[in-house]
Chains A and B, each alone.
Chain A
Amino acid sequence: MVGQRRLRWWAALFLAPAVVLTAVFFYYPMAYILWLSMHHWNGLSPVKPFTGLAEFRHLFKQPIFGLVIRNTAIFVVGTVVPSIAIGLALALLANRRLPFRSFLRGVSFAPYLVSFVSAGLAWVWMGSSGGLFDHLMGFLGFHPGNLVDNPSYALLYVIAMYTWKMAGYNMVLYLAGLQTIPREIYEAGAIDGLQDGWTQFRTITWPLLAESTFFVVIINLIFSFRAFSAIYVMTNGGPVNSTTTLVYYIWNLAFVQNSWGQAAAASALLLIVVLALTVGMVRYFTKESFRAS
């Protein structure tokens, strides 16, 4: 038998690679980004003078900063809400004993499997003038032209692509949740007069899916804040910055404008927002489940 002391050495050995890599590639960069957000740097200069909160002030004073925040909010809410709602609807449909239900599952999950680059490029083509959507909307007497070149539609179009891609993922998460609900509950509900579908959903399914919803909301928020490649490939942040979100702006500040201090300030802002939302969700849902019990 190995003694308690020697066992600790083994534990340290097993954990060493993961701890070192996590420290170097997660915790050190987080500390560095907070440090850099208080220093001025152009990405090349050997000196990085301390500037306090000046980089944040410069960032907030950027003429497009308000637009970036607005775009980010629209993108996150506009992707999270519909992709969860559609994912839940798909799960409810695919959970019924219907023929072709595994085909339905496979088809709606397929968009999640392809890369954002491939899906984005395909949607650029489908949204081009003379493309699929141009034809379809033409039937309604509506000719928006090239969707990704139109400042009024570009953000909505990227949101539509993103929702198409993520709904099937949410369906998988909700299907797992639905399968934990025992059939007997519905049978008991039917005896109590809960017969029609909507009442059943409202009083049984939705409350029992609370745990799934909690996880689905958090993971979708995290994913949506990260969305970069779809925007880069489809619109390059344009036209006239109408699709520039916070992550796109971070990249632009650092690698196009060489304002690393401001890029770091924007990264710190993103970090704070994502952490605050996650902690907020956790607290909200734990409170809710206390109330329910």
Chain B
Amino acid sequence: MVEATPAPKAPVSPKRRRPAEFWRYVPYMVIAIVVFGFPFYWIIVGSLSSNTAIATGSIPLFPLHPRWANYRDAWAYTNFARQVLNTLIMAVAVTASQVITSSMAGFALARMRFPGRQALFIGFVATLIIPFQVIALPIFVLMANLHWINTFGALIVPTAVNAFGIFLYRQFFLTIPESFEEAAMLDGANPWQVLWRVYWPLAKPATVTLSLLTFIAEWNSFYLPFLFTETKSMYTVQLGLVAFQGEFATVYNLLMAATVFISIPVFVLYLMGQRAIIEGIATTGTKG
């Protein structure tokens, strides 16, 4: 409630205001950092603990005797190497397909006039609402009929297009002045060349954002490979992790070690492309 308003305060210099504000918000920051950050620290501590410490629940707050061998044992146990390779093949192929299909569709939707353009755009974007679990059963039947279950075809083709990418490229291409296109056309370039030689290089930020987000999503994806693979040799890393849990339910130190090394690529990509990832999420948020 606002009571008798005090005389308008003189603008306070930021230098003087900062410490007071800082101390007021310090408790909240500490709470937030502990709640969101401590589990990560604890996972790493757990991954370096001994079997006895895990079994008795007497894990020291600081790992004074880290057991690095846990990482070697966890890696050697299942065929994680093969699963990393499978996941890389799937993630790279899906990312490349989405970049190609999305930039082509986004270019046509942003730069070409044809009947039904708006309806087509809505038709693409509407698919973002549909949960994969709703359409997973028919896709499973389709994959089974094609004898694609347990092959890379099933891991790659159903996700080769994504409306998020189409949306991203369309919005980006709309911001590029038409004069670029006209100049290239006058030089005798056809639309195919205009897209790949003029527009696509200019849309590098969209490509970086889409690639990073898609790669991370594929690396972390579970339901699709869970339904469409059968043998351990076709498993992706997330399935490998679940299989590991199935066999070593309570060997949490090795399980946490596996969890850590499987999450490393995602964090490396995030640190490399932090800006593109955050902006990619944020712009779709504000532009809806």
Does A10 count as interface, using CB distance less than 8 angstroms? yes
Contacts of A216 in B (CB 8 A): 285
Residue of B nearest to A198 (CB): B1
Contact of B39 among A122, A193, A267 (CB under 8 A): A122
Contact with B along A86-125 (1 / 0, CB 8 A): 0001100100111110011001111101111110011111
Contact with A along B255-268 (1 / 0, CB 8 A): 11001001100110
A128 to B255, CA, bound (A): 14
Inter-chain contact A126/B39, CB cutoff 8 Å: yes
Inter-chain contact B130/A271, CB cutoff 8 Å: yes
Inter-chain contact B161/A115, CB cutoff 8 Å: no
Does B172 count as interface, using CB distance less than 8 angstroms? no
Inter-chain contact A199/B2, CB cutoff 8 Å: yes
Inter-chain contact B131/A226, CB cutoff 8 Å: yes
Contacts of B283 in A (CB 8 A): 176
Residue of A nearest to B127 (CB): A26
Contacts of A167 in B (CB 8 A): 36
Contacts of A278 in B (CB 8 A): 129
Inter-chain contact A22/B127, CB cutoff 8 Å: yes
Inter-chain contact A135/B57, CB cutoff 8 Å: yes
Does B114 count as interface, using CB distance less than 8 angstroms? yes
Contact of A270 among B127, B134, B186, B245 (CB under 8 A): B134
Inter-chain contact B286/A172, CB cutoff 8 Å: no
Q: On chain B, which size bracket covers the interface?
A: 35 or more
Inter-chain contact A117/B222, CB cutoff 8 Å: yes
Inter-chain contact B262/A118, CB cutoff 8 Å: yes
Inter-chain contact B281/A169, CB cutoff 8 Å: yes
With A114-B220, A214-B288 given, is the CB distance from A93 to B40 under 8 Å? no
Does A58 count as interface, using CB distance less than 8 angstroms? no
Inter-chain contact B2/A194, CB cutoff 8 Å: yes
Residue of B nearest to A112 (CB): B281
Does B171 count as interface, using CB distance less than 8 angstroms? no
Does A237 count as interface, using CB distance less than 8 angstroms? no
Inter-chain contact B259/A122, CB cutoff 8 Å: yes
Identify which of residues 144-163 in chain B touch chain A, using a CB-to-CB cut-off of 8 Å: 157-161, 163
Which of A1-9, A63-71, A151-159 is the interface stretch? Answer: A1-9
Inter-chain contact B108/A15, CB cutoff 8 Å: yes
Does A225 count as interface, using CB distance less than 8 angstroms? yes
With A104-B29, A111-B36 given, is the CB distance from A173 to B112 under 8 Å? no
A247 to B135, CA, bound (A): 11
Residue of B nearest to A8 (CB): B114
A118 to B244, CA, bound (A): 12
Inter-chain contact A22/B123, CB cutoff 8 Å: yes
A104 to B163, CA, bound (A): 32
Identify which of residues 12-58 in chain A touch chain B, using a CB-to-CB cut-off of 8 Å: 12-15, 17-19, 21-22, 24-30, 32-33, 36
Minimum CB–CB distance from B12 to chain A (whole Å) comes to 11
Inter-chain contact A172/B278, CB cutoff 8 Å: yes
A104 to B262, CA, bound (A): 24
A180 to B141, CA, bound (A): 47
With A263-B137, A270-B134 given, is the CB distance from A115 to B36 under 8 Å? no
Identify which of residues 125-182 in chain A touch chain B, using a CB-to-CB cut-off of 8 Å: 125-126, 128-132, 134-135, 164, 167-169, 172-173, 175-177, 180
With A15-B120, A115-B238, A212-B286 given, is the CB distance from A254 to B39 under 8 Å? no
A270 to B63, CA, bound (A): 46
Inter-chain contact A175/B282, CB cutoff 8 Å: yes
Contacts of A128 in B (CB 8 A): 250, 252
Contacts of B131 in A (CB 8 A): 222, 225-226, 247, 270-271, 274
Inter-chain contact A97/B25, CB cutoff 8 Å: no
Identify which of residues 3-24 in chain B touch chain A, using a CB-to-CB cut-off of 8 Å: 5-6, 8-9, 14, 18, 21-22
Contact of B133 among A13, A132, A226 (CB under 8 A): A226
Residue of A nearest to B56 (CB): A130
> Chain B residues in contact with chain A, CB under 8 A?
1-2, 5-6, 8-9, 14, 18, 21-22, 25, 28-29, 32-33, 35-37, 39-40, 42-43, 46, 55-57, 100-102, 104-105, 107-109, 112-114, 120, 123-124, 127-142, 157-161, 163, 166, 185-186, 190-192, 195, 216, 219-223, 226-227, 238, 241-242, 245, 250, 252, 255-256, 259, 262-263, 266-267, 270, 278, 281-283, 285-286, 288
